[in-house]
Amino acid sequence: MNREIREAVDILRGSRFVVALTGAGISVASGIPDFRSPAGLWRRFDPAVYASIDRFRENPARAWEMLFEMIAAVDAARPNPAHDALAELERRGLLQCCITQNIDGLHGRAGSRNVIEFHGNLDRFVCLACESRYGWRQYAFPAGEAPRCFACGSVLKPSIVFFGETVPGRALLEGRMFASSADAILVIGTGATVFPAAEIPQIAKNSHAKVIEVNTAPTGLTNYITDVFVQCDAAVALPAIAEGLGEE
Ligand SMILES: [Zn+2]
């Protein structure tokens, strides 16, 4: 076990309330490229056009071209050992919740129960007109068209947060509450540069939490509020941390 993993384990052993904040980096090993990366969707689909709520309302069929690809990528993905380790830590009572910026639902599929999704989840659709909700797996898509509401015929949108939309208030409140209660926070696969994720490590730090960062490269947090920087793929680091916590 390397020194940083050992330090992380020591901090977590001494903590009573631990939360995790996760971002795109945790799902890369599941086969979902960071949308901003060279292989990511935003290289082909300008998010200002395809992921903006105003542009969606103007032309839902265009946004759905990108969304069908996003759904296919998420559906093909499986939780990786990092998701599994976090679910295991929660089961063992060593982790209180995962706050995530990801829309892939992989924490839930790995077995995590307390997941706060800042940007929603691709598994559910909402009707913009009548607010009817649907699970997409039960829904038969007309190929290549924007899916429509069975109740009113209006176009459906995945219940993910588009640019120009606000993060659900409840997720925001819960995220802040958990962060302010934490005495350790694991920041995994994200530099937490985008609001509201950006405030979560800071809220935890202000409440005297230790910040353990797991990223493959330094971020804006690393020399700023991180106490222990584990420079490693999350799919390797998290199982090692979980194993370390199981040792006497
Ligand atoms: Zn409707």
From CA 14, how far away is CA 247, in angstroms rounded? 14
What pLDDT, on the 0 to 100 scale, is given for residue 248? 58
Write down the catalytic residue from 83, 107, 119, 208: 119
* Cβ(95)–Cβ(89) below 8 Å: yes
What pLDDT, on the 0 to 100 scale, is given for residue 69? 84
**d(CA 150, ligand 1 centre) in Å:** 7
Angle between the N-to-C axes of helices 3-13 and 234-246, in degrees from 0 to 180, rounded to the nearest 10 = 50
What pLDDT, on the 0 to 100 scale, is given for residue 36? 73
Strand runs labelled E in the chain: 18-22, 97-100, 115-117, 120-127, 133-135, 156-160, 184-188, 210-215, 228-231
Decide if 41 is inside a domain. no
**d(CA 148, ligand 1 centre) in Å:** 8
The residue range of the domain holding 27 is 1-31+79-119+166-248
Classify 191 as helix, strand or coil.
Answer: coil
Distances (CA, A) of 60 to 55, 161, 225: 8, 15, 41
What pLDDT, on the 0 to 100 scale, is given for residue 33? 76
| 107 counts as catalytic | no
pTM score, whole prediction: 0.93
From CA 88, how far away is CA 80, in angstroms rounded? 12
Decide if 149 is inside a domain. no
CATH for 243: 3.40.50.1220
- Per-residue pLDDT reduced to its tens digit, 120-164: 988 888 998 999 998 876 666 666 678 888 899 999 999 999 989
Q: Which amino acid is at 8?
A: A
What pLDDT, on the 0 to 100 scale, is given for residue 73? 86
Please tell me the total count of domains within the chain: 1
In degrees rounded to 5, what are phi and psi of residue 94? Answer: -100, -5
**d(CA 158, ligand 1 centre) in Å:** 13
Peptide bond into 158 cis (omega under 30): no
**d(CA 50, ligand 1 centre) in Å:** 22
Angle between the N-to-C axes of helices 199-206 and 169-181, in degrees from 0 to 180, rounded to the nearest 10 = 30
**d(CA 146, ligand 1 centre) in Å:** 13
Running DSSP on this structure, what letter comes out for residue 34? -
Decide if 226 is inside a domain. yes
**d(CA 133, ligand 1 centre) in Å:** 8
Strand-pair category, 133-135 with 120-127: antiparallel
* Cβ(106)–Cβ(77) below 8 Å: yes
Decide if 37 is inside a domain. no
Half-sphere exposure for 138 (CA within 13 Å, toward CB): 7
Residues of the chain with pLDDT under 70: 1, 137-144, 248
